[in-house]
């Protein structure tokens, strides 16, 4: 479907500076920042920004007050350059200037005040100066001479530059495809092995008792690959989920994680207490009971437990086990891994393998923790790409970033 009255004809993209593959967070921001009628956005879905619309429980966690590359998995100096060019304050100011004031929640996280649609509407409004092809899927990209040819399921389009903003492969129900990785590989890029991230973890049979605790939630600290993730853990019928687990899934690839189920608890008075263990331990009763059974300890009053039993109880501060896997791409908020950033210019987002080919957003090997980091990355990398395009020879004179 053509979505712009200027868009007519087969080879309309010949007179566009750039074809943007994907009308998600990064593609829409890139289209917003580029001059009028300079870009053609091709989006497989019938509408743009599907992930934005459902993000953050419908309110979109846009960004985070604490922002630097340490909140990301990926090459730190590469990430930092984009964050510096367009940080959380610049993003918030850009949104506020368009009439929406994000609200701070959970200490550091900025959300839309009422609905994720508020951010989506801004991006749609700002980008409507470009041409959109909706409901059209990009199949492949090739290059002949100076021109890229972008093959879709309906036609072949050409342009001097292509920005791959097609995201990762998680949540295929919202339109995710692996086309970005395929394009990268075609142009000789290394694609770092991908895996679901910000996702729940499944358990092996030793931890099957977790499944019976489905619905219970506890505050924990999780150590995964040397990183500490804290927050709540939710037991589910598949394993474990909740913010702390989602965060840990970013760092966990295989092997053990260690969960402190009692991070703020002092053991000092347990052996002098007249209360039952299930009342002493600050855990939901059924969780405490299940752990006591696993540890082979009876639910008795604190003063009756032996030193050896206390020692066994204390293992709840460092409950170590190897998850079986993850809940998979269908449930993962993001995809870790992706186009290797060593082969992309940090100042421009341009491929070092093919001039005029750009990568922005989640398709790159940059993945943020829970808390608004992934949208910030999508927007920051799109900003850097837009800024760099104005330096391209052909468009030097008439290309300006439209920030105000």
Q: Side by side, which strands form the sheet with 18-21? A: 131-134, 39-43, 18-21, 161-164, 357-359
- Of the pair 182, 345, the CB lying nearest ligand FAD is at 182
Letters for 352-381 (x = contact with ligand FAD by CB under 6 A, - = none) are ---------xxx--------xxxx--x---
**Which residue stretch of 2-10, 165-173, 186-194, 214-222 sits at the interface with ligand FAD (rule: CB under 6 A)?**
165-173
Closest Cα to residue 24, out of 129, 149, 169? 169
Pull the structure tokens for residue 13. Answer: 């993209």
Number of residues engaging ligand FAD in binding (CB under 6 A): 39
Residue with tokens 């991230």: 197
Q: Which strands, in side-by-side order, build the sheet including 156-159? A: 138-144, 147-152, 156-159
Contact 377, 79 (CB under 8 A): yes
* DSSP at 16: S
Strands (E), 225-304: 227-235, 239-241, 257-260
Interaction of residue 166 with ligand FAD, rule CB under 6 A: yes
Compute the C-alpha angle 19/24/25, nearest 5°.
110
Torsion angle (degrees, nearest 10) of CA 353, 357, 360, 364: -30
Q: Is 39 in the site for ligand FAD (CB under 6 A)?
A: no
Q: Is 142 exposed, middle or buried (0-12, 13-18, 19+ CB in 10 A)?
A: middle
Is residue 13 near ligand FAD by the rule CB under 6 A? Answer: no
d(CA 182, CA 178): 6
342: which residues sit within 8 A by CB, 6+ positions away? 75, 190
Q: Which residues pair with 43 in a beta bridge?
A: 134
62 within 8 A of 375, measured Cβ to Cβ: yes
- Examine residue 74 and tell whether it contacts ligand FAD (CB under 6 A): no
Least distance to ligand FAD, CB of residue 369, Å: 9
From 84, 117, 137, 227, residue interacting with ligand FAD (rule: CB under 6 A): 137
Interaction between residue 124 and ligand FAD (CB under 6 A): no
Nearer to ligand FAD, 53 or 216 (CB): 53
- Nearest distance, CB of residue 48 and ligand FAD, angstroms: 6
Asked if residue 165 binds ligand FAD (CB under 6 A), the reply is: yes
The answer to whether 323 contacts ligand FAD (rule: CB under 6 A) is: no
Per-residue tokens: 40: 């053609």
Indicate whether 243 belongs to the interface with ligand FAD (CB under 6 A).
no
Nearest approach in angstroms of CB 134 to ligand FAD is 9
Q: Is 21 in the site for ligand FAD (CB under 6 A)?
A: yes
Select the residue interacting with ligand FAD from 44, 141, 257, 346 (CB under 6 A).
44
Give the side-chain half-sphere CA count within 13 A for 246.
19
Strand, helix or coil for residue 167: coil
Q: Are strands 201-202 and 239-241 parallel, antiparallel or unpaired?
A: antiparallel
Tell whether residue 177 is a contact of ligand FAD (CB under 6 A).
yes
3-state SS assignment for residue 246: helix
Query: In the complex, which residue's CB is closest to ligand FAD?
Result: 24
Is position 26 an interface residue for ligand FAD (rule: CB under 6 A)? yes
Judged by CB under 6 A, the stretch of 74-82, 169-177, 261-269, 338-346 that binds ligand FAD is: 169-177
Nearer to ligand FAD by C-beta: 69 or 207? 69
Give the full edge-to-edge strand order of the sheet including 103-105.
Answer: 61-64, 109-111, 103-105
**Residue with Cβ nearer ligand FAD (43 or 365):** 43
Candidates 37-45, 140-148, 250-258, 383-391; binding stretch for ligand FAD (CB under 6 A): 37-45
Q: Does 138 participate in binding ligand FAD (rule CB under 6 A)?
A: yes
Minimum distance from residue 235 beta carbon to ligand FAD (Å)? 21
* Interaction of residue 61 with ligand FAD, rule CB under 6 A: yes
Please pick, from the candidates 13, 17, 20, 24, the single residue that binds ligand FAD as defined by CB under 6 A: 24
Where along the sequence are the contacts to ligand FAD (CB under 6 A)?
Answer: 21-27, 42-45, 50-51, 54-56, 60-61, 137-138, 165-167, 170-171, 175-177, 179, 333-334, 361-363, 372-375, 378
């Amino acid at each position: 479907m053509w979505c712009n009255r200027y868009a007519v004809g087969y080879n309309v993209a010949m007179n566009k500076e750039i074809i943007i593959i994907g009308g998600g967070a990064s593609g829409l921001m890139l289209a917003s920042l580029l001059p009028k009628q300079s870009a053609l956005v091709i989006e497989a879905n019938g509408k743009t920004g599907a992930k934005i619309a459902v993000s953050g429980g419908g309110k979109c966690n846009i960004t985070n007050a604490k922002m630097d590359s340490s909140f990301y998995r990926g090459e730190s100096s590469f990430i930092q350059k984009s964050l510096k060019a367009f940080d959380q304050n610049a993003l918030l100011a850009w949104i506020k200037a368009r009439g929406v004031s994000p609200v701070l929640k959970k200490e550091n996280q900025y959300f839309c005040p009422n609905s994720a649609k508020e951010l989506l509407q801004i991006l749609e409004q700002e980008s409507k100066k470009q041409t959109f092809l909706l409901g059209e899927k990009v199949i492949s990209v090739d290059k002949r001479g100076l021109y890229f040819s972008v093959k879709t399921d309906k036609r072949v389009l050409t342009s001097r530059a292509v920005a791959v903003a097609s995201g990762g492969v998680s949540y295929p129900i919202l339109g995710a495809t692996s086309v970005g990785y395929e394009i990268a590989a075609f142009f000789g890029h290394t694609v770092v092995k991908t895996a679901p991230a910000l996702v729940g973890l499944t358990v092996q049979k030793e931890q099957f008792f977790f499944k019976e605790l489905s619905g219970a939630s506890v505050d924990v600290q999780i150590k995964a690959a040397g990183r500490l993730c804290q927050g709540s853990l939710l037991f589910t019928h598949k394993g474990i989920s909740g913010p702390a687990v989602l965060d840990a899934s970013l760092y966990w690839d295989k092997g053990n994680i260690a969960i402190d189920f009692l991070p703020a608890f002092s053991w000092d008075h347990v052996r002098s207490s007249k209360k039952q263990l299930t009342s002493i331990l600050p855990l939901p009763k059924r969780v405490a009971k299940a752990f006591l059974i696993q540890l082979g300890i009876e639910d008795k009053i604190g003063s009756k437990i032996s030193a050896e039993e206390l020692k066994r109880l204390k293992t709840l501060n460092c409950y170590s086990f190897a998850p079986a896997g993850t809940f998979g791409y269908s449930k993962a908020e993001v995809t870790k891994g992706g186009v290797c950033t060593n082969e992309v210019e940090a100042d421009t987002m341009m491929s070092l393998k093919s001039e005029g080919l750009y990568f922005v957003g989640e398709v790159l090997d940059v993945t943020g923790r829970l808390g608004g980091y992934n949208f910030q990355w999508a927007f920051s990398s799109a900003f850097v790409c837009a800024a760099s395009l104005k330096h391209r020879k052909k468009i030097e004179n008439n290309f300006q970033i439209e920030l105000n």
